[in-house]
Structure 1
Amino acid sequence: MKSITINGSKRESVGKKATKALRNAGQVPCVLYGGDQPIHFAADEIAFKDLVYTPDVHTVEIDLKDGGKFNAVLQDIQFHPVTDAILHIDFYQIFEDKEITMEIPVHTKGVARGVRNGGVLRFNLRRMRVKGLPGNLPDFIEADITPLKIGNKLYVTALKSDDYKIMHPDNTVVCQVRTSRNVVALEDEEEEGEETPADEVPATEVDQKENE
């Protein structure tokens, strides 16, 4: 997973008055948790641009002047209700030998067969919550939707990996192809009359109606 470096400095005072002064100076007050004790620091608001205003996820290297370097992930963020300015950010320190839980974006690969026939692809889950070692977590999870026909659903079980554990129930739907007004009925002749045992149907094509 890609990493972004945030340069900052430790905060000597954490009171309301000091916090307001930081914000007026264009800085964001932050706290790093997960270590022996919380570390209060601040950094320029522009430094968080590539971390906050993006659909991608990153780990963070927090480089504090006279305070050391720490690897972390963004845990929580507060915005101003009117201006959307960043008011406060919480980070959580990570270690290479300890698993962490993160939400990883899902990227699709290919064009679903059902979409080519007039269906519409609907996303139920654009990010997946996964758990694993920091070095094993990907920038995104790729979902091959090419075989999906109209009515088919792609379940999280089709996206399992040995590198991380998916923290969603097996019957969670990632995406599905729904019918639309402009449906073209196209079936390969070789598929007509063929039946596949239920236990051999791939995870992308099993419609678990009892879970709907």
Structure 2
Amino acid sequence: MSITFELKAEPRSDLGKGASRRLRRAGQVPAILYGGGQEPQPLVLNHLDVLNQLKNDAVYSHVLTLKVGDRVESAVLRDLQRHPFKPTILHLDFLRVSADRKLRVHVPLHFVNAETAPGVKQQGGVVSHALIDIEITCLPKDLPEFIAVDLNGLSLGEAIHLSGVKLPDGVELATHVAPDSESDVIVVSIHHAHGGEEGPSVVAPTT
């Protein structure tokens, strides 16, 4: 994980919906830092700084450096609330990170070799992405920026299920998935283009 993310925050004592609205009007974002066996800490961050950090999708799957006043915390972004139609962040949830305690987080999937998969290149199929991320558990040191799903060798009518996703060392699915069980959902598949129209997901490998 060569990328580093740093956010500055200040403790917040003025709580409640009215206080949160005032903070947002002033260009700030209310937040909460919790976990790690400590009491939850209400925070406030600069909205513009938060938006700039969120431009990089990797921020969602990295351990962040959170500067809270004169101390430094390691945390992951556990959740955020966006305004339904404005480019505004309404609230942030941060989870404290301990080196010896496993994280439970969602990590994005990157689909590779889609254009060269036999079902696309030779059989004219289209790729359908059923999932864009998966929930995993791992120690902070093993947290991947993304998980690659390789479509090399995938033919028309075939699919990769959750149990077939190859995970990096030290990483496990948050929930055990047995092959061919109900929880073993499809992650990605290749199918016919109906009526010559574009399928539900165009072939565009994510790298």
Do the two structures share a fold, i.e. TM-score over 0.5? yes
- RMSD of aligned C-alpha atoms? 2.0
Question: Unaligned stretches of 5+ in structure 2?
Answer: 197-207
The letter for the 1-side match of 2:174 is M
Counterparts of 1:124 and 1:50, CA distance in 2:
29
The letter for the 2-side match of 1:113 is P
Structure number with greater Rg is 1
Query: How far is the alpha carbon of 1:86 from its aligned partner?
Result: 1.4
1:146-180 C-alpha deviation (Å, 9 max, x unpaired)? 10011111122332333211235342221111023
- Which among 188, 192, 201 is matched to residue 175 of structure 1? 188
Contact kept, 8 Å, 2:107 with 2:144, in 1: the verdict is: yes
Q: Find out whether 1:76 has 2:53 as its counterpart.
A: no
TM-score for the superposition, normalised by structure 2: 0.78
Query: How far is the alpha carbon of 1:54 from its aligned partner?
Result: 4.6
Correspondence for 1:138: 144
Distance 1:177 1:15, change over 3 A: closer
SS at match of 2:39: coil
Query: How far is the alpha carbon of 1:82 from its aligned partner?
Result: 4.3
- Which among 61, 74, 94 is matched to residue 65 of structure 2? 61
| Number of residue pairs aligned between Structure 1 and Structure 2 | 181
Correspondence for 1:163: 170
Correspondence for 1:94: 97
Q: Which runs of 4+ in 1 moved over 3 A?
A: 15-18, 50-56
Contact kept, 8 Å, 1:160 with 1:166, in 2: the verdict is: no
Query: How far is the alpha carbon of 1:50 from its aligned partner?
Result: 4.4
TM-score for the superposition, normalised by structure 1: 0.77
Question: Unaligned stretches of 5+ in structure 1?
Answer: 183-212
Identity %: 29
Counterparts of 2:192 and 2:84, CA distance in 1:
39
Contact kept, 8 Å, 2:78 with 2:105, in 1: the verdict is: no
Q: Find out whether 1:47 has 2:52 as its counterpart.
A: no
Counterparts of 1:51 and 1:59, CA distance in 2:
13
Correspondence for 2:27: 26
Counterparts of 1:15 and 1:70, CA distance in 2:
24
